[in-house]
Structure 1
Amino acid sequence: MEVSGTGAHVLVFPYPAQGHMLALLDLTHQLATRGLSITILVTPKNVPQLTPLLSAHPTTIKSLVLPFPYHPSIPSGVENASDLPFSAFNDMMVALGDLYNPILEWFRNHPSPPVAIVSDLFLGWTHNLACQLGIHRYVFSPTGALGLSVINSLWRFLPKRDDPTNVNTLISFPNIPNCPTFPWWQVSPVYRSYVEGDPTTEFVKDGLRANMASWGVIINSFRELDQIYFDHIKAESGHDRVFSVGPLLPSSKNTTKRGGSSSSSSDVLSWLDKCAAHTVVFLSFGSQFVLTNKQMEEIAVGLERSGVKFVWAVKEPTGGHAAGAYGKIPDGFEDRVVDRGVVVRGWVPQVAILNHGAVVALLTHCGWNSIMEALMAGVLMLTWPMSADNFSNAMLLHQMKVGLKAYEGADTVPDSGELARLFRKLVSEETRVERKRVTEFAIAAKEAVGEGGSSWKDLDQLVLNLFRK
């Protein structure tokens, strides 16, 4: 039975990166629906992201807009990590730490200040802020229980490699179920920069270590997918205030607008309407990754040789990419495949595309939001993890037999012939078993978020905990 609150006030603070913000905004919607009064903190350039949420909850959700702190490594006007190269990721976390005192002042001047803070795992310093204010902080993980387990273990045990020159040195995590192991180059780039002596990462380390000291842990996943890792986090935290509340997705009415908008949205969906069921492969590498021209060329040739129908979402280069070296579709490609493929530049309605009956599989970088969306839609995944938690996410997909391995690494150039074979396999009877498996997980995911499901119950328990001081 759903818990209805009494208007307890909570501050929600998302980390400004598309993959992080979307899930926490979806959680905010769920909390508001259950009766909480919420203030959500953003910087000016991220205010437009709140429009759907503020429109849906005009009386229960308010915004707190604070100026983005100056940082010499972050260009003026950039306030979202999705618009920065990975090399500036640490700087974004450090810059946001300068909001500590403005938030503290806001709290002390508010007539009815929040009783708790819910903030992203990259904002671990808010744990210290909450302690100073005498309230509880709940860390929100936009990645799954395995990914979070690896992050926590890295910063708790601080593993090193015996040979500093060997990028293939294996790093094991024996304290985590199934003892996941990764070569050094697949370990979090934030952690690797810490080991290599980046002075900014001391602040990052302290924040990430503070996550497990926080009062509660909220994970965007569902227990039927990663129960053993959920149990591990509970054991590591030493309390039962660990909540698995996913998949966090928008309501069906908002699937074409989640995270942006585009004039091409209706065109893509109309094109899919003309395709037979389970015949289209969707290619999407999330909001952060821009492929090199050579990678683009091999993918294009692979699609052309495969003969399969496809939708390809292409992220265009930003200021952090070398001019002319990234994101170029080969000349003439779109004309040659016009009858069986669509290329979309920029934002795409990913949730709506994945839920279209014509789509059978997703070639993905294994970002957690994409995984949750694909599982909920019952879409098989072809994995090409690029960085950060992508590798642990791909490992989970392979363990659960809902993902097939394609490639690994942001610098890998695929083989067009091999890609063509994989694309054909995705739409063939060869993947019958895997597609049945992912359909079963789709059912489990829907049951988890439905009334009385595991995630539904955890959301209710979370709300009850937020009311307790």
Structure 2
Amino acid sequence: MTISTSGAHVLVFPYPAPGHMMPLLDLTNQLATRGLTITILVTPKNLSILNPLLSKHPSIKTLVLPFPAHPSLPTGAENVKDLPPIAFPAIMRSMHQLFTPILHWFQNHPSPPVAILSDMFLWWTHQLACQLGIRRFMFSSSGAMAMSIIYSLRRYPPENDDLNDQNRLISLSRIPNSPIYPWWQLRFLYSTRYVEGDPISEFLKDGVLANMASSGLVFNSFSELERVYFDHVMEEAGHDRVWAVGPLQPTEDDSSAKRSGSRPELASDISSWLDTCEDRTVVYVCFGSQAVLNNKQMEEIASGLEKSGAKFLWCVKEAPKGHMEGDYGVIPLGFEDRVIGRGLIVKDWAPQVMILRHRAIVAFLTHCGWNSVLEGLVAGVPMLAWPMEGEQFLNATLLVDELKVAIRVCEGAQTVPNSDELARVVAESVSKQEIENVRVGKLRRATLDAIKEGGSSYKDLDKLVMHITEGAT
């Protein structure tokens, strides 16, 4: 492994959502292993998430700053997973209040960082870095295709005519493969859900442009997966300071339970249940750390799983207390009793990496969040795609239409699936595996090749460290 000897000091600043924090902490582990000096900025309630990393790298320092209050957020809110999805723009706006405290910390530090590595949702750190006279590197927890499309929507916005027509088809001709989407799947990415002149809307508007103006762009992806989109990002950015360093995964000595935050006894119970199942017979159902399904969706999923006759492991996210309780996340009465022995329902944050890598898993019904996509690819598990919001629709296009390692089963956060159709797709994912297995197996090998020593992502990690180190001298 290439090791830096300069110890260049970097401030790592994750966005307080599990899907953003975990991959950036995995990257931080890699940077610390390569010899960089690191300070991680975190808010108090998220400090414990760093424990496995700090135990492995005692040299890593922390900068703990209070989570700023915002009138749209409940008191004590510090993590997106504990809030309804609509709250995340307010969290981004709230985090901007840390600009001045961070600036003062830099100005009073005896040996301040020479660079900032921050999440894509913390784009204002680009202006902070400019004011400090240092470099800011953007970390994207999404892929290069998603970044290409999001940037294109901002730089080359669609015409305003008929944008109230949610089903209007938008052709993205500047993007490789010229994808086409109905407007309702792009609108959130374009930030038009907020009125002109609204402080949050104005704050969001220039974020993507600030990210692209950063000193460099770091992606949790790999070139073999999205080569044409990485080329496109470099073309739009006007430079080649773009590094594909993924898939970023927990190390072998960092257990899946620790990574996910789930209870060790829960991980053990899940593993024991999967051990009783035959190889490639269990369908894993999970929609990420944020999505909470309404009760009609819950009923149709339960009915579809029951009708399919397949074994399943369903991770259910219950409604946050004080938000949507009673109308969301309720398991149909009697369902658990009827599927005893054939299905396992988990009402907690499940250790997904461990689950997907288990020999019993045959398919993954997923919301197509980027972390879930990468974890599925590393495990070599075919996916059943139900994108719900944001860039998930873009990820589904990559999986279903381009890579052909997934089947689209539903679309939209409020869409209610047909239980008979869902049952058919789930049953076929168990009985008809040949074509999907060949494609997923080939992509899995490419994924593992990218992250091993000498692979494309491994080399990009070394190049990133070298660039940071050379810029510090």
TM-score, reference length from structure 2: 0.96
| 1:457 maps to which of 452, 456, 459 | 459
In the TM superposition, residue 189 of structure 1 has moved relative to its aligned partner by 1.7
Counterpart for residue 176 of structure 1: 175
Q: Is the aligned partner of 1:202 residue 2:189?
A: no
1:48-106 Cα shifts (integer Å, max 9, x gaps): 111111111012x1111001111111111111122222222211111111100100000
Counterpart for residue 165 of structure 1: 164
Q: Is the aligned partner of 1:243 residue 2:243?
A: yes
Alignment of 1:344-359 (within 5 A): 344-359=346-361
Counterpart for residue 104 of structure 2: 105
Aligned counterparts of 1:124 and 1:156: Cα–Cα separation in 2: 16
Q: 1:320 to 1:138 in 2, by over 3 A?
A: farther
* 2:430 counterpart letter in structure 1: V
In the TM superposition, residue 339 of structure 1 has moved relative to its aligned partner by 1.2
Counterpart for residue 91 of structure 1: 90
In the TM superposition, residue 341 of structure 1 has moved relative to its aligned partner by 0.8
Counterpart for residue 260 of structure 1: 261
Aligned counterparts of 2:160 and 2:409: Cα–Cα separation in 1: 27
Q: Percent identity?
A: 58
| 1:403 maps to which of 392, 402, 406 | 406
Counterpart for residue 435 of structure 1: 437
Aligned counterparts of 1:381 and 1:82: Cα–Cα separation in 2: 23
Counterpart for residue 114 of structure 1: 113
Structure 2 contact 262–348 (Cα < 8 Å) conserved: no
**Alignment size in residue pairs:** 467
Aligned counterparts of 1:188 and 1:65: Cα–Cα separation in 2: 35
Structure 1 contact 188–389 (Cα < 8 Å) conserved: no
Structure 2 contact 119–139 (Cα < 8 Å) conserved: yes
Counterpart for residue 390 of structure 2: 388
Structure 2 contact 163–183 (Cα < 8 Å) conserved: no
In the TM superposition, residue 239 of structure 1 has moved relative to its aligned partner by 0.9
In the TM superposition, residue 196 of structure 1 has moved relative to its aligned partner by 4.0
Structure 1 contact 161–169 (Cα < 8 Å) conserved: no
Is the deviation greater in 67-76 or in 383-392?
Answer: 67-76
Structure 1 contact 401–437 (Cα < 8 Å) conserved: yes
Which runs of 5 or more residues in structure 1 are unaligned?
Answer: none
Q: 1:196 to 1:185 in 2, by over 3 A?
A: farther
Is the deviation greater in 341-350 or in 315-324?
Answer: 315-324
Aligned counterparts of 2:149 and 2:29: Cα–Cα separation in 1: 28
Structure 1 contact 304–337 (Cα < 8 Å) conserved: yes
CA RMSD of aligned residues (A): 1.3
Structure 1 contact 5–463 (Cα < 8 Å) conserved: no
Q: 1:164 to 1:225 in 2, by over 3 A?
A: closer
| 1:271 maps to which of 270, 273, 282 | 273
Aligned counterparts of 1:47 and 1:405: Cα–Cα separation in 2: 38
Poorly superposed stretches of 4+, deviation over 3 Å: 192-196
Aligned counterparts of 2:232 and 2:68: Cα–Cα separation in 1: 37
Which runs of 5 or more residues in structure 2 are unaligned?
Answer: none
In the TM superposition, residue 195 of structure 1 has moved relative to its aligned partner by 6.3
Structure 1 contact 245–458 (Cα < 8 Å) conserved: yes
Aligned counterparts of 1:90 and 1:320: Cα–Cα separation in 2: 19
| 1:362 maps to which of 364, 372, 390 | 364
* 2:104 counterpart letter in structure 1: E
Is the deviation greater in 179-188 or in 243-252?
Answer: 179-188
Q: Secondary structure at the match of 1:185?
A: helix
Q: Is the aligned partner of 1:224 residue 2:227?
A: no
In the TM superposition, residue 161 of structure 1 has moved relative to its aligned partner by 4.2
